[in-house]
Copies of this chain bind each other. A is one copy, B any other.
């Protein structure tokens, strides 16, 4: 049997890139800074969002779209703190923009300043999908080992910030903040790295200040 020639009628990649740009520009106009949180399962994304929500309570308005393969456990955890919608992929290993758009349609955007998309726990596949975010943030927990940036380079190369989480466990695990940072900088020189313990709520002020500054820059750029 011979191969069949299939005419390529649409450039799906280009269509997706264009849709992400439209989504991002819409959020920029509304003054909403959008983050796409990427990490291994259990690196502490949801706990980090809880800590951020508590830190910003009464001062900054954040909403969350939380992606999971199954269950609405993360949305249940976040619901006491912030407006949240669960996006369930039903098996897929990463979020894609159409599901994010549907979730956003269910949120009240009035006065919103930060939108966080918590991706499916997966350090590989989400790095290949632009969700229309302004900042991609890779979260690495100290229990995973300081060799991970080089082993999962795309997540670290395509992110605009790295949060090293679970610093409270540093006394109990073989992990060097310096080695992990150096490895991340081999992949992407200058990548901003923040060390926090989301559970113990340390380092959150510095991380949130970075996000507030990023949003201020976005607002300034948008009006120029």
Query: Chain A interface (Cβ within 8 Å of chain B)?
Result: 1, 4, 6-7, 9-10, 40-43, 68-71, 73-74, 91, 93, 120-125, 141, 143-145, 147-148, 150-154, 166, 168-169, 172-174, 199
Contacts and interface: CB of A to CB of B under 8 A. Distances in A.
Contacts of A120: 124
A183 to B, nearest CB: 10
A143 B169 contact: yes
Nearest to A125: B93
| Copies of this chain per assembly | 2
Given A6-B6, A41-B144, A143-B42, A70 B153 contact: yes
A143 B199 CA distance: 12
Contacts of A125: 93, 122, 124-125
15 contacts: A4-B6, A4-B7, A40-B41, A40-B123, A41-B123, A42-B143, A42-B144, A69-B152, A93-B124, A122-B124, A124-B125, A125-B125, A141-B143, A143-B166, A174-B199
A152 B69 CA distance: 7
Contacts of A148: 41-42
The 7 A-B residue pairs with the shortest CB-CB distance, nearest first, are: A42-B144, A143-B143, A93-B124, A40-B40, A40-B41, A42-B145, A1-B9
A4 B5 CA distance: 10
A150 B41 contact: no
